[in-house]
Chains A and B, each alone.
Chain A
Amino acid sequence: MSSRKKILLKVIILGDSGVGKTSLMNQYVNKKFSASYKATIGADFLTKEVLVDDRLVTMQLWDTAGQERFQSLGVAFYRGADCCVLVYDVNNAKSFDTLDSWRDEFLIQASPMDPESFPFVVLGNKVDVGDDKRVITSKRAQAWCQAKGGVPYFETSAKEGSNVEQAFEVIARNALAQEESQDFNPDFPETIPINIGEQNQGCSC
């Protein structure tokens, strides 16, 4: 039964305002970049179907506003997440410094069963901008990821689309692993995220 179930993976994308969360998501799902995406207000999500190995899964990618004060209302979405993507701008030191607080905030609000093993992925975005502007080196970012228990790290450009597909493939894979580990946990049947394509409830209309 459970192997035939339609799988929905809930992925939360966090990071400071303007690091390129919305752009990354749109690059991945719609394969395009526009310089005129509006600043995100509230929350929205995009979905994409992908094959992970031979399994068809639906990724539901949640995008929220980056400015801190808007996070307090958005935390409702964190619940049931299968993976959290932390984005910073390699040309902006502040956006890297805040990764810790984004991670902490997420763990507190989403309260996954096993915070130690909850999958995060870090994306250093806007690598297309000239090297002279870059302030966070790969090394520094990798060190941070290492210290957090080997978080996968990718350097991306939402503008040029580089490395985006690869990053999201790992995100999907890790999210699926997380989802399945939860599935097998009999103590927490409730942590399965709300599935939009809920199985056969029969017609109640």
Chain B
Amino acid sequence: MASHQEPFTPGGVEDASRDPPSPASPTASFYDMSDDEEGEYSTIRPSKTGKGVKLLYTKSKVYVHPTPSAKDNIPGYVALIQQKPGRTDSISSPPTSPGVGSSLGGRRSAETSSLLLAWVPESSLGAASEIYSKVDMFESDSPPKQSCLVPPPPITTTHSSSLGTYAFAVPLSEVFSVMVRPPNTGWWFGSIIINTRGGDSFPPLFFHDSECQSTIAQRRRLQRENFSIGAAETGGVFWGGDQVISWLKKYVNVERSGQEPSVFLIEPNEADKVSFGSGGKPTPDKVKNVLQGKHRDEPMQKKPQNPGDAVTKALTQARWNFLEKMAQVTTFTRRTAQNLAENKNIPPQVRRLMQDPQVQTVSDEFDSARLYLARWAMGIAEQSEKERSQRIWTAKDVLEMEESEVGEFEVLDMDSQGLSLADRRKPVTLKEWNSYFNSATGRLERTPDEVKERIFLGGLHEEDGARKEAWLFLLGVYEWDSTKEERHAKMNSLRDEYIRLKGAWWERMVDEQGTLEEREWWKEQKMRIEKDVHRTDRHIPLFAGEDIPHPDPDSPFAEAGTNVHLEQMKDMLLTYNEYNRDLGYVQGMSDLLAPIYAVEQDDAVAFWGFVGFMERMERNFLRDQSGMRLQLLTLDHLCQLLDPQLYDHLQKLDSTNFFFFFRMLLVWFKREFSFPDILRLYEGLWTDFLSANFHMFIAMAILEKHRNVILEHLKGFDEVLKYVNELSGTIDLQSTLVRAEGLFRRFQRVVEAIDKKSNFPAPTVRQRLPQPPSPSAAKPGADGRPRQGSSGGGAGAAASASASSSGRARMTTGDHVAAGVGAQKERVISPELRALLSRELPKLDKTEVRAHGGGVAS
């Protein structure tokens, strides 16, 4: 408490009475401290100018978000400021005594016009910034005893007059209401919107509480005092906006709207109260209010599931709702965007939004405003997610996290010995990798599982070449228990074999061997491969450009030319076409080969790595698509189990075929992540560390991240497909990996719980399936063997593999589950789901491939 009385620079703490008269200021209408009766208050002010307004309260790290992009955010202070009464140009009322500590009666009009609610950008403060930050840190409920004088911000009563800088200072008498939206931990910054009596709205002010020292301190204090960080004002966790409301309450009458709990009316008159109590049908006035951002024209929320889970609901609701309605009555063309942008009835921030070139591009491309809004909402949610990662942890946070899937994972993780959590998330360097092996024999001296865990959690180093060798183990080219010599020998014979296979198709082409049908197939495959190679990852420097003439003058690419890596890709894929004639080359395979070739940069080595990868991916490419159907069905079951609410919604949209995940599952998210991210993702998936089908949890993690947006905004199958397709290039890998791990743990727990609870006889299929491992069994065994591998895992894999041949029969099982979930009946874990617990690689039987491959040998 005493801290604020210490003098500090560049302002100073002075006795007002001894203060020499200040030089005249151009802004004479403002509070001039030299003739203020400060009484016993000492005064803090910038040393340069003697003029100033009194800073009563302020809060730092309050941002304006002018665009959906976080990099445009402008940090600033929200402040309650007192100017000298009666001295403003705009509002005249007799001066009264300063409001601090005075009784509430009989001071309203005077005070409300002398008090300013302001927002000023940090960048504009100059020397005054120290005063702002000092006042911010005052730990008291009342304003500092000293007068802290700051330069007067420009007074505005409309938002438009503050355009450009966003700074504003609005007299409280002009404030009609303050709309608050409390933060949602990990999702959403809390924000307030100030609506004026003139019907204008200022841009939402976002409280980045985790950066705001005073809010953090305040939270700690509340926690110490009450063992709770709940706040009185707006519900939920204490946040900056609560403080603003409580400042206002000290000076003016603040009434929370009964009908619109997010709206706080400032000095409401009777008419205001009536209009807010009316409810029911929207009247023209109410609609007008919505347009003016005065309050949300929305029926009461169905019932917030938990405080702050209003997330996507609340995006500055008035504007949001308005846009939503727009989206419903008309699709959103550039023309409507233009109209919107010019319509004076629409809040300026929305108008600005409409002028955003990004909006226009989007509307050119797809004309559902909803889709754009959905994306926008996600953009904002994403910012808050970033906030989460920088958060200061409080007791409640930890508690929350422990309940959430991510937290559980972290907690589980921390108790295992050895490396610290952070260390185990670091990439494995070549040096570390080499240290796993005996320097003389080159034999692995760790258990394969230890190594896999490290790679699963941390990945391999991007640049030091660790991948080149490690991938060959992960892809099954090398045995884990081999010696250096054995590996050398193996590689030599594999090189020979590669050359032999390559020669085989080469001869086939030259000599035109085989039946007419076979020859046709080969010609077609060659064309297909060439076309696809020329369309694969050409933005990667390795594959970019054409610097050598095409070897075949008849090729469609003869004119364009080619490069040596494209030619290598072609050779490898044609060789695979020869090697696996039951299946042959199928579109998508070139996408899978490119990362391996890029890492190995040696065609024979990359080829065998690719063969290993294809062992597990074969099922994706069968002619009858049974493997893809099975995985889409599994995703369907997984979503039903883990997120029935979302599943319900998708069902309404006819989207439970999960076709919108087809691309992600077919080529393992190759089109969604950047090339470097793909390398990291694939090496993690190849470890089979938690599940041999961990990619299903990656898919689920992506879906979950966007669940709220999908629930709130997407209204048709086509919209879902478009939205999901366009996630490409926007997904953050690290957080997706962590979320996927969390989802896996949760899945494991749910299966266990259902198994325990179920009074029903175990489904017959269970007897040939492995028991789900308990969470503790999820750690590698001391002997380092796969946890459930040899004993029961094989059966699981077999079940999932054989499922591809009996896809139809399995659909019935799926329907059974579907029927159970909605009605809260008993839940049965489908075999598709149970297979997800297996760490055994699901490989197809050769006869299976022959029967369904669609290659020339079938």
Contacts and interface: CB of A to CB of B under 8 A. Distances in A.
A and B, one complex?
yes
Interface of A: 6, 17-18, 29-30, 35-39, 41-47, 49, 58, 60, 65-67, 69-70, 72-73, 76, 91-92, 94, 129, 133, 194, 196-203, 205
Interface string B492-534: 0000000000000000000000000000000010011001101
A78 B152 CA distance: 65
Contact of A203 (B321, B365, B535, B628): B321
A205 B298 contact: yes
Contacts of B328: 197-198, 200-203
Contact of B657 (A17, A76, A91): A76
A194 to B, nearest CB: 5
B586 interface: yes
B716 A194 contact: yes
Contacts of B719: 196
B93 interface: no
Contacts of A49: 333, 367
Contacts of A200: 328-329
B535 A39 contact: yes
30 contacts: A6-B331, A17-B587, A30-B365, A36-B535, A36-B539, A38-B591, A39-B535, A41-B667, A42-B659, A42-B662, A43-B721, A45-B718, A45-B722, A46-B365, A47-B365, A60-B718, A69-B586, A69-B623, A70-B587, A72-B625, A94-B524, A133-B556, A196-B331, A197-B327, A197-B330, A198-B328, A198-B715, A199-B329, A201-B328, A205-B324
A47 B719 CA distance: 12
Main secondary structure on chain A at its contact with chain B? Answer: loop
The interface centre, meaning the residue of A17, A30, A69, A70 with most chain B CB atoms within 10 A of its CB, is A69
B560 interface: yes
B325 interface: yes
B331 A72 contact: no
B717 A194 contact: yes
B587 A46 contact: no
A37 to B, nearest CB: 6
A76 B659 contact: yes
Contacts of B660: 42
B330 A37 contact: no
Contacts of B193: none
Given A47-B367, A129-B556, A196-B718, A73 B628 contact: yes
Contacts of A29: 365
Interface string B831-854: 000000000000000000000001
A88 to B, nearest CB: 14
B147 interface: no
B536 A38 contact: yes
A38 B535 contact: yes
The 4 closest A-B pairs by CB, nearest first: A197-B331, A42-B663, A42-B662, A36-B538
A6 B330 contact: yes
Given A39-B587, A72-B625, A199-B329, A46 B718 contact: no
B658 to A, nearest CB: 10
B331 A58 contact: yes
Given A6-B331, A17-B531, A41-B588, 5 more contacts: A41-B671, A49-B367, A69-B854, A133-B556, A205-B313
Given A39-B532, A41-B671, A196-B716, A47 B366 contact: yes
Interface string B349-368: 00000000000000001111
Interface string B653-680: 0000101101100110001000000000
Given A43-B659, A73-B662, A203-B321, A18 B366 contact: no
Nearest to A196: B368
Contacts of A94: 524
The interface centre, meaning the residue of A45, A194, A200, A205 with most chain B CB atoms within 10 A of its CB, is A205
Nearest to A44: B725
Contacts of B586: 67, 69
Given A36-B538, A196-B331, A41 B556 contact: no
Nearest to A22: B535
Interface string B541-565: 0000000000000001000100000
Contacts of A72: 624-625
Nearest to A91: B556
A133 B532 CA distance: 20
Contact of B587 (A65, A91, A199, A203): A65
A192 to B, nearest CB: 13
A46 to B, nearest CB: 7
Contacts of B663: 41-42
B728 to A, nearest CB: 10
Contacts of B621: 69
A54 to B, nearest CB: 15
A17 B528 contact: yes
B689 to A, nearest CB: 27
Contacts of A199: 329
A76 B654 CA distance: 10
A6 B369 CA distance: 14
B662 A41 contact: yes
A35 B560 contact: yes
B632 to A, nearest CB: 8
Contacts of A30: 365
B725 A203 contact: no
Contacts of B716: 194, 196
Nearest to A34: B538
Interface string B328-345: 111101000000000000
B500 to A, nearest CB: 28
Contacts of A17: 528, 531, 587
Given A58-B331, A67-B586, A18 B531 contact: yes
Contacts of B536: 38-39
Contact of B366 (A41, A46, A133, A194): A46
Interface in B706-725: 712, 715-719, 721-722, 725
Contacts of A36: 535, 538-539
B655 to A, nearest CB: 10
B628 A38 contact: no
Given A41-B588, A47-B367, A194 B662 contact: no
Interface in B570-605: 586-588, 590-591
Contacts of A43: 659, 662, 721
Contacts of B721: 43-45
B324 A73 contact: no
Contacts of A133: 556
A70 B625 contact: yes
Interface in B32-51: none
B367 A58 contact: yes
Interface string B598-627: 000000000000000000000001111100
Contacts of B366: 46-47
A169 B763 CA distance: 58
Nearest to B523: A94
B286 to A, nearest CB: 12
Nearest to A56: B333
Nearest to B653: A194
Contact of A69 (B331, B365, B625, B629): B625
Contacts of B556: 91, 129, 133
Contact of B324 (A45, A198, A203): A203
A49 B337 CA distance: 14
A197 B368 contact: yes
A46 B660 CA distance: 15
